[in-house]
Structure 1
Amino acid sequence: MSIAIKKCTLEDSRKLQEISYETFNDTFKHQNSAENMRAYLEKAFNLNQLEQELSNSSSQFFFAYVNDELAGYLKINTDDAQSEDMGDESLEIERIYIKYEFQRDGLGKYLLNKAIDMAREHHKKKVWLGVWEKNENAIAFYNKMGFVQVGTHSFYMGDEEQTDYIMSKTLI
């Protein structure tokens, strides 16, 4: 299996929208109402929103290709792009989304390590992320990778308030 990483640009906005819809929907549709899923997808992944995020110099997106097929993506945030104020010494991993058929192949670990490498390149001392309290597989994965829960924050799926665990890892 060969993995390649490509930094996303504005020209990738439609492809980013497609993979965002697919991966988010596949991951969370079974635990949320169709109405709340639709509302969230339309708000978070409309082209205007994605183009704004792609244009923010404090956010970066990376596509992951497995054997030349788009398999997933990573979004990281620093400075004022972070979804919570975690300070200048932190890097947020906002999204690691992987297509269903590529899950359990080590791609999540690969993208997580890419984010940690980027944090070190930017002289950050911590990486952090939010993960839904009901996403037990993701929580177990992040625990295994050295993340610990340091708090919670609200996440809105349509009109439903949900709780995300804030998990952090200190870099050595």
Structure 2
Amino acid sequence: MILRAAKPEDASSIAAISLEVWIGTYLKKGVSAFFADYALRRFTAAKAGMLIADPAEFILVSQNDDGIDGFIRVSEGSTAPVEGCSGFEIATFYVQPRHHGKGIGTGLLNAALAHCRSRSAASVWLTTNAENAPAIAFYLERGFVEVGKSDFTIENEHYLNNVYLHPLS
């Protein structure tokens, strides 16, 4: 496993992993056109390329011998949905399910936290679906604390998310 900054040529891999993980995590009973259309609009190589090029985004990928198996994106200057959070958000954090349990997520998270510390962030925050028990357990085991609730909205549909904060001082 090699952790490195994302490069423009990683955009299609990041988009593909995003589709795989998002659909596999949130669409347990089947894929409706509503969610398929949302995912195909949101997770594109063009959008990933724009994020890679954005200086307010820090994207780190995990690469194995065959390609990228996970990535984490920290957005600087984000506004949290609850008070008391810094402007540093872990906006996206995906590892392919077949690579869970190999230390990839921990490595990516530790590197992202180190990046935030290097930018003098007092904390970093994230949201995750309130029903995503494996992600919630992962974050709690690594020092995140729940600080509130928010809604993830697709068109007029709302999905409850938990907001987690990790102090860095």
What TM-score, normalized to structure 1? 0.85
34, 37, 56: which is aligned to 2:35? 37
Kindly indicate whether the alpha-carbon contact (under 8 Å) linking 1:36 and 1:160 is maintained by their aligned counterparts in 2: no
What residue number does 1:114 align with? 111
Q: Write the distance in 1 (CA, Å) between the matches of 2:87 and 2:25.
A: 27
User: Unaligned regions of 5+ residues in structure 1, if any?
Assistant: none
Give matches, 1:131-142, under 5 Å.
Answer: 131-142=128-139
Deviation at 1:66, TM superposition (A): 3.2
* Amino acid aligned to 2:80: E
What are the residue-to-residue correspondences of 1:15-94 with 2, within 5 Å? 15-30=13-28, 33-79=31-77, 82=78, 84=80, 89-94=86-91
TM-score, normalised on structure 2? 0.87
Q: Indicate the RMSD between aligned Cα atoms, in angstroms.
A: 2.3
**Which stretch has the larger CA shift, 11-20 or 83-92?**
83-92
Matched letter for residue 68 of structure 2: L
Give the match for residue 171 of structure 1.
168
Question: In 1, Cα distance between the equivalents of 2:116 and 2:92?
Answer: 15
**Which residue is equivalent to 2:123?**
126
Q: What CA deviation, in whole Å up to 9, does each residue of 1:87-136 have, x standing for no partner? A: 89442111110111101222111111111100111111101111100001
Q: What's 1:161 paired with?
A: 158
CA distance 1:90–1:46, shift in 2 (3 Å): same
- CA, structure 1 residues 84+32, in 2 after alignment: closer, same or farther (shift >3 Å)? farther
TM-superposition CA deviations, 1:130-172 (whole Å, max 9, x none):
1100001111111111111111221124653101111001112
Q: Secondary structure at the match of 2:24?
A: helix
Distance 1:57 1:30 in 2: 35
- Comparing 136-145 with 24-33, greater Cα deviation is found at 24-33
Q: How many residues align?
A: 168
Q: Which aligned segments of 4 or more residues in structure 1 are displaced greater than 4 angstroms?
A: 85-89
Structure 2 vs 1, CA of residues 71 and 127 (structure 1 numbering), >3 Å: closer, same or farther? same
Give structure 2 stretches of 5+ with no counterpart: none
**Distance (Å, rounded) in 2 between the aligned partners of 1:13 and 1:55:** 10
Q: Indicate conservation of the 8 Å contact 2:80/2:86, yes or no.
A: no
For 1:13 and 1:154, the matched residues in 2 are separated by 27
